Amino acid sequence: MATDHRSLITYPMLSVSPVCSCSENQKTKALTQSYITMKNGTILTALSLALAGGAFTLPSALAGDLALYEIATPDAGLASADYAAGAQDASTRFKNPAGMSLLPETPVEAGAPLICSSVKLSPDASTGPLPGAGNGGNAIGALPVESAPRPLYRPWTLGVEAGTTGVGGFVSWRFIDHWGARAGFDYFQFSENNLQIKDINYDAKVRLMSEPLTLDFYPWKKHSFHISAGVLFNQNELTGTADDTRVITIGHRPIQIFQGTLDLKVQQQLVNPYLGIGGNFFYFDHAHRWAMGGELGVAYTGDPKVSLTWAGGRSGRIGSLTDSEVRNEQGKIQDYADQFRWWPVLKLNVSYSF
């Protein structure tokens, strides 16, 4: 008689029963016995686990928790009146996740409120022996909470700046999402002795003073980058004098001046068209109030006005040629100054927005 060496394995009680191929009745009987063995073993195992779990079951206990649901400044201001249905800032994700679809952009919460609470245990007749008879002390006390909404942008900005127009400050007002206005004032002054301008050395003084007034366009309402167009009120000026007994050259002729002065003044046009771009490079804080930024632009200053005059004194070499030669030198300075009709604007600034 041939024997089939396949085995029937049951779990959780193992039982191995050889299956004979001699007749169908014997095979059916063997399978039935194995199934009964498996079923009984499973029931016994379940009963054993239930009894073991019951042996370690403790008496019932009660517990509680505390939820501080005012997690943002609007919650505190509204006394959480719209806690479950409101959608107005980043705290919406904690209380009304579906309401985040109503937010125009992705706001951020930051800040440092302080919550002071007094929570103590009050034992009574139903209190078990484990906590003891004391009140447990104050369970919370002072609790710092980070909470302050940050808008997409802050409408007002004050800043200090320095660059090719001098040192000064500005104020900007972003009155709608994509448009704003800006005004500022810059000033700087320095002196230089023996500054050579064409054929003459001057004791010169340079004054930079201007007031920009622009209209700003913001392509993206959640960014500070802007394009500015407007005017630059320009009072830039260069003045210089050549006096005493120094030797000057006029018309390629050296002339000794014994008395009087030669006065030079160069002034740019008062109103200059201006075009530029600007924005913030980075922020110093999470609330995006303090920032470092810059501006790059150009102003068209037009043809400058040059004045060269001889004041007092005479020399033996000048005579009747004084006026014509001075005018000739003034023309040279005018031609030189006309090359600088465009004034580059490059600024760095530190600003505070609110």
pLDDT digits (tens, 9 = 90+) for 332-351: 889 888 888 999 999 999 99
Stretch 6-34: mean pLDDT, rounded? 43
Domains in the chain, ordered, with CATH?
156-353 (2.40.160.170)
Structure confidence at residue 262 (pLDDT): 80
Whether the ω angle into residue 12 lies within 30 degrees of 0, i.e. cis, is: yes
In angstroms, the CA 335 to CA 14 distance is 110
If one compares 216 and 49, the residue with the highest pLDDT of the two is 216
Do residues 214 and 248 lie in contact, with contact meaning Cβ atoms separated by under 8 Å?
no
In angstroms, the CA 38 to CA 15 distance is 8
Stretch 270-283: mean pLDDT, rounded? 96
The token pair at 129 is: 């022996």
If one compares 146 and 276, the residue with the highest pLDDT of the two is 276
Structure confidence at residue 40 (pLDDT): 52
**Interstrand relation of 271-283 and 290-300 (parallel, antiparallel or unpaired):** antiparallel
Structure confidence at residue 210 (pLDDT): 97
Please measure the distance between the N-terminal and C-terminal CA atoms of the chain and give it in whole angstroms.
98
The token pair at 65 is: 């928790």
How would residue 87 be classed by pLDDT, with cut points 50, 70 and 90? confident
Structure confidence at residue 193 (pLDDT): 87
142 has which bridge partners? 116
How would residue 298 be classed by pLDDT, with cut points 50, 70 and 90? very high
Percent over 70 (pLDDT), the chain: 56
Q: What is the pTM of this model?
A: 0.57
Q: Quick check: 209 pLDDT over 80?
A: yes
pLDDT in tens, 42-83: 555 555 555 555 555 555 555 566 666 666 666 666 767 776
In angstroms, the CA 115 to CA 143 distance is 5
Determine if residue 327 is left, alpha or beta; phi over 0 gives left, psi from -120 to 50 gives alpha, anything else beta.
alpha
3-state helix, strand, coil in the chain (%, to 5): 20, 40, 40
pLDDT in tens, 125-165: 766 665 555 666 676 666 665 555 678 889 999 999 999 99
How would residue 287 be classed by pLDDT, with cut points 50, 70 and 90? confident
Stretch 26-37: mean pLDDT, rounded? 48
Do residues 342 and 298 lie in contact, with contact meaning Cβ atoms separated by under 8 Å?
yes
On the 0-12 / 13-18 / 19+ scale of CB atoms within 10 A, 160 is middle
pLDDT in tens, 314-329: 544 444 346 777 888 8
- Mean confidence (pLDDT) of the chain: 75
Structure confidence at residue 350 (pLDDT): 97
**Interstrand relation of 19-20 and 253-256 (parallel, antiparallel or unpaired):** unpaired
Structure confidence at residue 139 (pLDDT): 64
